[in-house]
Every structure is written in C-alpha cells, then in structure tokens.
Structure 1
Amino acid sequence: MKTHILFDFDGTLVDSAPAILACFSRVLQAHGLSACRAIDAGLIGPPLRQTLEMLSGRSDPELLDALSASFKDIYDTEACLETLAYAGCQATLERLHEQGFTLAIATNKRLLPTQKIITTLGWDGLFAEVFASDSYPGRYADKTGMIGALLHDGAIAPQAAIYVGDTEHDGLAAAANAVDFWPVAWGYGHFASQEQPLQSPQQLLERLVSA
C-alpha cells in the first residue's frame, strides 16, 4: 500500500521556468556574457551551479561563484514569488493530505526559494519534509542521494512510496532507491513512448485509488 507521495518541484508542481529563465538572462547580461546555448525550458532541473557552467561555457570557480550570487539575489528576492502552480495541483495536494497520505518534496532547487514559493502558494503544512539541493550540505550530491536520505530520515519503506516527477533523471533517481516512479506529462521532460505519464494532477488521485 502506498502511503508516501514524494514530489519533484519545478516542472511537476510549479511552472517555474518563466522566472528562472528570465533570471539567467539578467545574470549573463550583468556579467557581460553571452549564452552558449538556448535559454529555454531544457535548463530547468539540474542544480544551479551546473546549469550556470553549462550556460556560460565557463568553469572558473570565482566566476561561477559570482554568477551564482547574482542569480540568488535576483531570484530569491523577486522572481521566485511570481511562480505559479500548475492547474489542479493545489486541489490534488489538499485531497491527498486530507486522505492521510504523507507528502514530501525532493528537488534540485535550493531550499530558500522553494520554501518561499510554498508559502506564497499557501501550501505550508501540506508537506512533512522538503529536501532541496542545499538542505544538508555534503550529505548527498544528487537526487538519488536526496531521495535516499528522505527515505532514511522518514523511516519510509521504498515500496510504500511513489516519486512523482517530470524528467527521466527523476525516474532514474527513484529507481535507484527502489521507489515507484510516476511521470507527469505537463513538465519539462520527455519520456519514451512506452511510458504512461499522468495527464493531469487529478489522474494521480485516480491512479492511487486503483493501485
């Protein structure tokens, strides 16, 4: 029986792309840099520093520190507050919570903006745990380790959990922890034809009932 529903955040519960991509453009402009690749939704998901290195084409630690600081200043104080939830997500989260499921988040986003968005959307109290890329520095290096840490801390049996996400990387991280993965069709990733992504948040409820 599934008792714990673990969620990715960006591209799964919230459409964070517009605010994040605008920040990347502003950061590069502020530092006199040109993007080495298209600034599009394909950038959403990996940790910030990794994305800035890929986008700038630079690996100099001091420059990446400066780019990261600029991004955090712009995003954390202004842009993140404009993030919208996907249609139907709030009602689904509330129903899951009411029905006794334990909800948690495992995201490559940093903790501060994640918590700010949760509060702005009125979702405080819905999630038992929020694990972000920087929640426990040095404890895990990727989402596989993050999900493992979340399971450990919550004493959650893998077979009792589902991880809901929008990319193949989310699926690989779930599989590495023996957790069932339920992909969503509305995020930033793409799945093989044999996958059957959820077409709406409401379908998550329906599939849980029939699982």
Structure 2
Amino acid sequence: MNRAASIRFGLVLFDLDGTLCRSEEDIILAWQETLDTLGLSCPRFRSLFRVGPSLQEMTDILFPGISRERKEEIIREFKFRYDNSPFPGTVPYEWADAMLAALKHAGRKLAVVTNKRQGPTRFLLKKFGWETQFDGSFSPDILPGKTLTKPELVSCALKQFDIAPEHIIMVGDTPGDIAAARKNRIPAAAVTWGYGSREELKQARPDLLLTPATWRKLLQ
C-alpha cells in the first residue's frame, strides 16, 4: 500500500458518498418512499442495502430476478424521490472542509467522481459550499442517453485534465472505487471512515489507506 507514497499528486479524484459526506439517511428514506409508492416489500432491505453501488446495481441486489420493466419503474421512482429531496440528513465529514481547503491551497486540482447523478451532486456541492473547490464533477448521467459506470467516469476525468496518470489519485471508500482506479491505471487511496469495511478495503489493495489522522498524505 505504499506505491503512491512518494508521488506528488496534481489531481485528486474524490468519490462523494462515504468519502466526503454521510448520505445514507437520505438514500434510505428515498428507497422507503419508493417501495411504499410502488407497493413493494423487501424484508432484507437493511441487511442488503449499501451506499456506494450504482442505482442499477442496488436495484438488482434488492430485487434479484425482477423484470426489466419493473426494474425501470423502481429506478424512475427512486430518481424522482431522491433527486427532489432537500437532503436534510446528508452532511460532510468533520474533516472534509479542511481536507479540500488544504489540497486547494497546495495547488492541487480536485474533481468529484460519483455514482450520484448530476442534479443531487450539484445541489450538495452548493449546499456544502464546495462549488469553488472542485475543478470538475463526473456523474453517471453526464452524457445524454448514457449511464456511465465508475471506471468510465474516471476515464472521462482523465481525458479532461492534462495531467500524467501517475500524478492522479482516486480517493474512495469502497472496493469499487479502488477497482475504478485500477481499471484506469492510476493510484488509489481508500478512506477508512466510509461505507466499506477496513477488511474489504485491504483486500482491494489500495496504494494508500487513509484515516482521519493521515489524510494529509494526499499533499505529498
């Protein structure tokens, strides 16, 4: 986990949920409203639900074998419920403001790479006062008519910034974030304060494993 220890990063790509903010309260509420509206039951919701997977992936996890038409109905309803939320329960981690400010002060470029769609992402960046901190934002719906995966979003970010891949790092809280970095051959950092367990993050073999006390390694 030390391949990136001596690299000076010019661009830091941040996942959003579980990396910069706590968001499960509002996501769970939108799921509950979706299931109530559509008359669906998911007895194992609490044990199956996770923050991090895309909406399509989470729908498959909660309702395996469901028809394509029903899946599309669930996704549409969730998008409506979640995207129109004021997000009262979504809050930044205590150290997020200091982390972003320190990186910007050090001359780093910052971008958000998230499975959250553009509307909620922009709303939250504005709510948290982070609009000026980020040089780019990449969500699954940035290209009309397509739904991009996390690896594809990282690829889009790499194309936008004229920075050598070895000087770009992806920071996230789940193995999916680490895998997206690996797919694009850039270093990856896993944060220990998010929704991925420390054990599964270690198994994903990130280049850096960050705690609230060690995130300043990103300034190297």
Say yes or no: TM over 0.5.
yes
Output the CA distance in 1 between the equivalents of 2:145 and 2:82: 24
CA change 1:151–1:139 in 2 (3 A) is farther
**2:211 aligned with 1:199:** yes
**1:64 Cα shift?**
2.3
Greater CA drift, 41-50 or 172-181? 41-50
Output the CA distance in 1 between the equivalents of 2:47 and 2:119: 23
Question: Which residue identity lines up with residue 74 of structure 1 in the other structure?
Answer: R
Output the CA distance in 2 between the equivalents of 1:161 and 1:41: 33
Output the CA distance in 1 between the equivalents of 2:74 and 2:174: 26
- Unaligned runs of at least 5 residues, structure 2: 1-7
Output the CA distance in 1 between the equivalents of 2:43 and 2:152: 30
Does the CA-based 8 Å contact 1:45-1:109 persist in structure 2?
Answer: no
Question: More relative contact order in 1 or in 2 (CA 8 Å, sep 6+)?
Answer: 2
Does the CA-based 8 Å contact 1:164-1:183 persist in structure 2?
Answer: yes
Aligned partner of 2:180 in structure 1 is 173
Output the CA distance in 1 between the equivalents of 2:146 and 2:157: 11
**2:157 aligned with 1:150:** yes
Q: Secondary structure at the match of 2:110?
A: strand
Aligned partner of 2:32 in structure 1 is 25
How is 1:121-160 mapped onto 2 (pairs within 5 angstroms)? 121-137=128-144, 141-160=148-167
Aligned length: 208
Question: Which residue identity lines up with residue 10 of structure 1 in the other structure?
Answer: D
1:118-170 superposed Cα distances (whole Å, 9 cap, x missing partner): 11111111111100111124667421121112101212311111110001111
Greater CA drift, 74-83 or 34-43? 34-43
Question: Which residue identity lines up with residue 192 of structure 1 in the other structure?
Answer: K
CA change 1:88–1:54 in 2 (3 A) is same
Question: Which residue identity lines up with residue 43 of structure 1 in the other structure?
Answer: R
**2:69 aligned with 1:62:** yes
**1:114 Cα shift?**
0.8
Question: Which residue identity lines up with residue 80 of structure 1 in the other structure?
Answer: F
Q: Secondary structure at the match of 1:80?
A: coil
**1:91 Cα shift?**
1.6
2:218 aligned residue (200, 208, 211): 208
Aligned partner of 1:80 in structure 2 is 87
After superposition, the CA RMSD in angstroms is: 2.2
Aligned partner of 1:11 in structure 2 is 18
Greater CA drift, 56-65 or 16-25? 56-65
Question: Which residue identity lines up with residue 4 of structure 1 in the other structure?
Answer: L
TM-score calculated relative to the size of structure 1? 0.89
1:53-108 superposed Cα distances (whole Å, 9 cap, x missing partner): 32133532332232222212221222535310111101211121122110001111
CA change 1:71–1:79 in 2 (3 A) is farther
Aligned partner of 2:103 in structure 1 is 96
Output the CA distance in 1 between the equivalents of 2:33 and 2:147: 30
Identity of aligned residues (%): 31
CA change 1:180–1:38 in 2 (3 A) is same
2:168 aligned residue (148, 161, 174): 161
Does the CA-based 8 Å contact 2:112-2:134 persist in structure 1?
Answer: yes
